[in-house]
Amino acid sequence: MEVVLHEASQNADRHTKQHESERKSERAFYKERDHESVKKSPNEEVLSCKKLSVDVYVDIQFENIKFTARSGYIKKESKEILHSVNGRFPPGKLIAIMGPSGAGKSTLLDVLSGYRITGVDGNVYTNGNPRQLNAFRKMSCYITQEDRLQPLLTVQENMQVAADLKLGQFVSKKSKNERIKEILLTLGLENTANVPTKRLSGGQRKRLSIALELIDNPLIMFLDEPTTGLDSSSCSQCIRLLQMLAQQGRTIICTIHQPTASLFQLFDLVYVLSRGKCIYQGAASKLVSFLESVNLPCPTYHNPADYVIELACDEYGEDKVDILNSASQNGKTLDWFERPEYLPSLNKLRESNQRSQKTPDNSGSLQSTSQWNQLKVLMGRGFLNCKRDLTLTYMRLGVNVIVGLMLGTLYWQAGNHGGKVLDNYNLLFSILMHHMMSTMMLTILTFPNEMSILIKEHFNRWYSLKMYYTAVTLVDIPVSVVSCFIFTVIVYFMSGQPMELNRLLMFGAISILVVFVAQSFGLMVGAVFNVVNGTFFGPCLSVPMMMFAGFGVTLRDLPSYLYWGSYISYLRYGLEGVVSAIYGQDRKILDCPEEEYCHFKYPSKFLKEISMQGDQFWNDVIALLIIFFFLRILAYCFLKWKLNCVR
Ligand SMILES: Nc1ncnc2c1ncn2[C@@H]1O[C@H](COP(=O)(O)OP(=O)(O)OP(=O)(O)O)[C@@H](O)[C@H]1O
């Protein structure tokens, strides 16, 4: 009995001591954080930005992280890029993942942020619990190396769109504007609010990329090479800004190639990789001591950051990486942290986060705002872009007017002339070709440029793919319809087609349907291929559409084993539809001057010759609508697949 009591009292003692030490480390963590924010803050103004600080803290731990890249479609090849790396990234710290080119820095960042999920092995924990990917994504953001911003929108407009999408429709306009103002002020962008993004300097663009993601106050920020392309003063401004954001309680992790000595000492923690293995994890200030402890002292007056990268590049012998890797236990040891005993207790972090009741859960939508609001904001942005990029809009209208006038002149009054029926038939096919090529090529050339912005914004949960896709579809309708209408009116009247309203409407309806189908075709190609491959494949894939349209070879003469082609060719339905509109519906005898012989004076004779019936208009409309919806859905699936492939 005595033994049991003794053990119980010892256990209680241990428990109290452990509790005491946890409380001590927690107190130390918050004290250190508060102290540092007062001591080190580069911008006094920032300290007053209470709204930007966070009250939920996330400690990231990872163990045995492996990443295997698989390439090749026929002969599958796989290559392990990260080799069972471990580490711990505490909250309130600015952490640099360093290493030579190809060491795996971006890959580790991608894996930790949840951007890369295929080929990943190992465990990631947040505050000691296994990472719940959706909840994790709701509290983090990823800022890519290249700044993927809307170039035509001003800083304020970009921020407004981000606020509308990330804060939702229930936050008042006033609060959103206050937040935008506060962020711009903190990031030193207040004087550029009305400057279009394309006119910003590299450093300003980088700050805007950070500002956009700060709107919903993320707890964790991942940044891939935030200093690339910046001069030394912008570099240090950028890192100081990140340092300030970390001091507000966030976990900030960025990759950096080779920082200068002054930049290096701004980081709280560094994680050095070489050939996919960790060779140092700890405080930036302790790197020199670490190197001494493994008998690889940093030469005097040498930047330790440069020296460790040189070691990682095997400049001092190939065995050095292994020595450093085993000394750092591939990232397991925390001995080189500033004060390892003061690392925050995970239990306490969890409790404190639960108290604040702001920890996101794993369920529900990833986006913060309703689908309807996403659509509204995206359409607003789309129309604003159209308004700003008037060159493209004018070009589209101009091309339709010029081509319309050219065709109208070439086939002047051929529509009602019994002797020019074949000419008019050529005109009808040329019209369809114009609609197909101009719309499809425009989409193939412009859509892939949007992909990089889509990938970033979609991963950062600005909107769902469905709403983005719907907005893209809807925004283009007005310009497409107006262009097609102008073209149709010019050609129809100049070429002397029958002056009957129903025929004009039928002709216009088929034209606009062909435009929409060609656009869907372009979207499908643009979703899969880049601009170069798309410009090759788009026209190549259109050739069978022309072959099976029934224009050169009539449908009657098409070999039976190729007849299936006519069912999938949207140009066939387009041609049949416009021929029905012009020569079908019991059209009366055509004009024929007395001195001429008009072989196709009777429209029915011509319809028989080209093996069309002239009463298929509604069937053609239905077929075009089916192809339109089918291609749109297919393009959406390809887009979704493409987004998943990247990850
Ligand atoms: N999907 C992939 N397929 C094949 N190899 C890959 C893939 N992703 C990364 N790699 C290879 O993994 C290695 C590490 O790439 P990573 O981009 O992470 O390096 P890094 O350290 O960020 O380099 P840098 O500083 O030059 O950007 C490189 O050799 C790269 O070629």
pLDDT digits 0-9 by tens, 350-396: 666 666 656 666 666 778 788 999 999 999 999 999 888 888 889 99
Classified as helix, coil or strand, 545 is helix
* CB of 495 closer than 8 Å to CB of 413: yes
pLDDT for 567 beyond 90: no
SS3 state of residue 548: coil
Instruction: Measure the N-to-C terminal CA separation of the chain; round to a whole number of Å.
Output: 60
* pLDDT tens for each residue of 32-79: 444 444 344 333 333 334 455 667 788 999 999 999 988 766 667 888
Burial code (b: 16+ CB inside 10 Å, e: under 16) for 568-593 equals: ebbbbbbbbbbbbbbbbbebeebbbe
573-582 pLDDT per residue, tens: 999 999 999 9
pLDDT at 398: 94
Residue 145: CB atoms within 10 A of its CB come to: 17
> What is the value of ipTM here, to two decimals?
0.94
- Return the pLDDT at 341: 66
pLDDT in tens, 425-459: 999 999 999 999 999 998 898 888 788 889 999 99
For residues 144 and 124, give the distance between their C-alpha atoms in angstroms, rounded to a whole number.
21
What integer is the mean pLDDT of 88-95? 91
The pLDDT of residue 260 is above 80:
yes
Please report, for residues 90, 207, 220, 224, 462, the alpha-carbon distance to residue 210 in angstroms, rounded to integers and kept in the order given.
21, 5, 12, 12, 14
For the cut 80, the answer to whether the pLDDT of residue 12 exceeds it is: no
pLDDT band (50, 70, 90) for residue 231: confident
Alpha-carbon distance of 99 to 275, in angstroms, equals 9
Per-residue pLDDT, averaged over 181-191, amounts to 86
Which atom, in ligand 1's list, is nearest to the CA of 110? 18
The confidence score (pLDDT) of residue 123 equals 93
Contacts of residue 214, defined as CB under 8 A and 6 or more positions apart, other chains included, come to 52, 183, 187, 245
pLDDT at 15 over 60: no
Better-predicted residue by pLDDT, 337 or 346: 337
Centre of ligand 1 to C-alpha 410, Å, is 57
How much is the average pLDDT of 9-16? Answer: 48
For ligand 1, the distance from its centroid to the CA atom of residue 309, given in whole angstroms, is 17
Q: What is the mean pLDDT of residues 169-194?
A: 88
Q: Give pLDDT, residue 449.
A: 79
CB 247 within 8 A of CB 46: no
Question: All domains of the chain, ordered by start, with CATH?
Answer: 50-356 (3.40.50.300), 371-646 (no CATH)
Q: Which two tokens stand for residue 29?
A: 């963590």
Mean pLDDT across the chain? 85
* Strand ranges of the sheet holding 129-130, from the earlier edge strand across to the other edge: 77-89, 60-71, 120-126, 129-130
In the beta sheet, which residues pair with residue 179? none
Measured between alpha carbons, how far is 392 from 405 in angstroms, rounded to an integer?
A: 20
Amino acid identity at 567: Y
Q: What is the chain's Cα-based Rg?
A: 33
Q: How many CB atoms lie within 10 A of CB 137?
A: 22
Residue 153: its pLDDT value, please?
A: 93
Quickly count: other Cβ atoms within 10 Å of residue 530's Cβ: 12
Could you report the per-residue pLDDT of 272-315, keeping only the tens digit for each?
Answer: 999 999 999 999 989 999 999 988 898 888 888 999 999 998 88
Angle at 51 between CA 46 and CA 53, to 5 degrees: 70
**CA-nearest residue, atom 29 of ligand 1:** 102
Atom of ligand 1 nearest to the CA of 257: 25
Between residues 633 and 45, the one the model is more confident about: 633
Helix (H) / strand (E) element for 84: namely strand 77-89
Q: For residues 386 and 268, give the distance between their C-alpha atoms in angstroms, rounded to a whole number.
A: 45
Widest pairwise Cα distance in the chain: 130
Instruction: Name the residue of 67, 107, 145, 277 to mutate for ligand 1: max ligand atoms within 8 A of Cβ.
Output: 107
Nearest atom (ligand 1) to Cα of 276 = 14
- In the numeric block, which tokens belong to residue 189? 């962008």
Distance CA 208, CA 227 (A): 14
**Phi, psi values for residue 462, rounded to 5°:** -70, -40
CB 585 within 8 A of CB 614: yes
User: Distance from the CA of 534 to the center of ligand 1, in angstroms?
Assistant: 26
Q: Where are the alpha helices (DSSP H) in 368-419?
A: 371-388, 390-410
Q: Which residue's CA is the closest to the ligand 1 atom numbered 1?
A: 69
Read off the pLDDT of residues 503-561 as tens digits, 9 standing for 90 and up: 999 999 999 999 999 999 999 998 888 889 999 989 998 888 888 888 877 777 778 88
Distances in Å between the Cα of 611 and the Cα atoms of 354, 506, 605, 614, 623 are: 75, 20, 10, 9, 18
How many whole angstroms from 101 Cα to the centroid of ligand 1?
A: 8
For the chain, give the percent of residues with pLDDT over 90.
43
Q: Could you tell me how many helices (H) and strands (E) the chain has, helices first? A: 23, 10
Please check the confidence at residue 17 and state whether its pLDDT lies above 80.
no
Say which residues have a Cβ less than 8 Å from residue 482's Cβ, sequence separation at least 6: 397
Q: Rounded to the nearest whole angstrom, what is the distance from the C-alpha of residue 271 to the centroid of ligand 1?
A: 17
- Residues in contact with ligand 1 by the CB-under-6-Å rule are 69, 71, 79, 81, 99, 101-107, 255, 257
Tokens 């505490």: give the residue.
90
602 with 592: CB under 8 angstroms?
no
Compute, in angstroms, the gap from residue 82 CA to the centroid of ligand 1. Answer: 10
Amino acid (1-letter code) at residue 327: A
160 closest CA partner among 146, 144, 171, 148: 171
pLDDT of residue 340: 67
Cα(305) to centroid(ligand 1), Å: 21
Average pLDDT estimate for 588-602: 84
Give percent helix, percent strand, percent coil of the chain, each to the nearest 5: 60, 10, 30
Q: Ligand 1: which residue has its CA nearest to atom 6?
A: 69
276 Cα: distance to centroid of ligand 1 (angstroms): 9
